[in-house]
């Protein structure tokens, strides 16, 4: 069983400030992993599709998800769909199984009325909000029963085909920078990087 508390300190350090949304990501990610019976992703054993966008609280939530699951943009095993939902699907690529987790609507609505969020709306930076406001909310998230705030789907089959990685590169004929070959464009029978190709097509 994955215990989200084991990842709390590194999550705060990685995220940069203490807030309720990052721990929500820790809790939700751990719940998904425990539903699938999987460990933290070392490479691409897990893939995550998150339905968030660029909203502030959503970003904090995703940092918690990345911390606990090991799904990161560096490993290319996380993808945003920009649907504006506090939800995600976690995929076990070995067993071809997945689970979808979302914050319950009523719970999240109440969170957005918290003193922490009200101060954020007034422009106060999260790191400047006093501990007497932040700490009870964070502890509330970490201690709350999952069924109070998470909707966890049954595990379902998910066909996932791993993309083959590439280690091959070549030089752009225009700017001379080294580029992974699958991103080079053919322009006038020359291998050209995407920015140079776009300039030539204007």
Q: Where are the domains of the chain?
A: 4-157, 169-201
Question: What is the C-alpha separation between 10 and 157, in angstroms, rounded?
Answer: 32
pLDDT of 140 reads 96
pLDDT on residue 185 = 95
The answer to whether the beta carbons of residues 172 and 196 sit under 8 Å apart is yes
Q: Do domains 4-157 and 169-201 have the same CATH topology?
A: no
Query: Do the beta carbons of residue 175 and residue 193 sit within 8 Å?
Result: yes
The verdict on domain 4-157 having CATH code 3.30.930.10 is no
Digit-coded pLDDT (tens) for 11-30: 999 999 999 999 999 999 99
Segment 107-135, tens digit of pLDDT = 999 999 999 999 999 999 999 999 999 99
Give 32-84 pLDDT, tens digit per residue. 999 999 999 999 999 999 999 988 889 999 999 999 999 999 999 999 999 99
Single pTM value for the model: 0.91
Phi, psi of 122 (to 5 degrees): -85, 0
The CATH classification number of 169-201 equals: 3.30.60
What is the maximal distance between C-alpha atoms in the chain?
64
pLDDT of 157 strictly over 90? yes
- Rounded to whole angstroms, how far apart are CA atoms 119 and 130? 10
């Amino acid at each position: 069983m994955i215990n989200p508390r084991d990842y709390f300190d590194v999550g705060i350090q990685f995220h940069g400030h203490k807030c309720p949304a990052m721990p929500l990501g820790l809790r939700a990610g751990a719940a998904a992993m425990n539903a699938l019976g999987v460990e933290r992703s070392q490479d691409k054993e897990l893939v995550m599709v998150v339905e968030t966008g660029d909203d502030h609280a959503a970003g904090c939530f995703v940092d918690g998800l990345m911390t606990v699951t090991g799904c990161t943009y560096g490993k290319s095993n996380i993808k945003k769909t920009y649907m504006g939902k506090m939800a995600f699907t976690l995929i076990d690529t070995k067993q071809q199984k997945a689970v979808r987790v979302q914050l319950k609507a009523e719970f999240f609505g109440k969170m957005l009325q918290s003193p922490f969020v009200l101060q954020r709306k007034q422009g106060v930076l999260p790191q400047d909000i006093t501990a007497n406001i932040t700490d009870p909310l964070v502890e509330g998230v970490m201690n709350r029963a999952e069924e109070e705030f998470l909707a966890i789907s049954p595990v379902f089959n998910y066909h996932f085909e791993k993309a083959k990685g590439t280690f091959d590169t070549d030089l752009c004929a225009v700017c001379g920078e080294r580029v992974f070959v699958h991103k080079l464009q053919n322009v006038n029978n020359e291998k050209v990087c995407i920015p140079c190709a776009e300039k030539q097509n204007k």
